[in-house]
Amino acid sequence: MHELILTIVKPLVDFPEDVSVHEVEEDHHISYHLSVNKADIGKIIGKKGRVAKAIRTVVYAAAGSKQHKKIYLEIVE
């Protein structure tokens, strides 16, 4: 899942070297914390959050078939 998030996000940003994903696994869910350069936050969120919603939709769809835990993708500044 980590690689999928990086594959989706890196082409969207101006500073792909600053993109990082940290995974936090707990009993009932897995959280992925996406961190990008401050200049790229707007590109990842998009107008009215549309890009962020699209990224989450793809990640949740890919993870839903493999994991039996709830998946969260958080964008961290």
User: What is the spatial order of strands in the sheet that 20-25 belongs to?
Assistant: 20-25, 29-35, 70-76
Are 20 and 61 contacting, i.e. CB atoms less than 8 angstroms apart?
A: no
Task: Give the orientation angle of helix 2-9 with respect to helix 50-64, to 10 degrees.
Answer: 150
Taking only the tens of pLDDT, the chain with its 77 residues reads 899 999 999 999 999 999 999 999 988 889 999 999 999 999 999 999 999 999 999 998 887 666 678 889 999 97
Sign, CA dihedral 3-68-57-45, equals negative
Tokens of 24: 């936090």
Three-class secondary structure of residue 63 per DSSP? helix
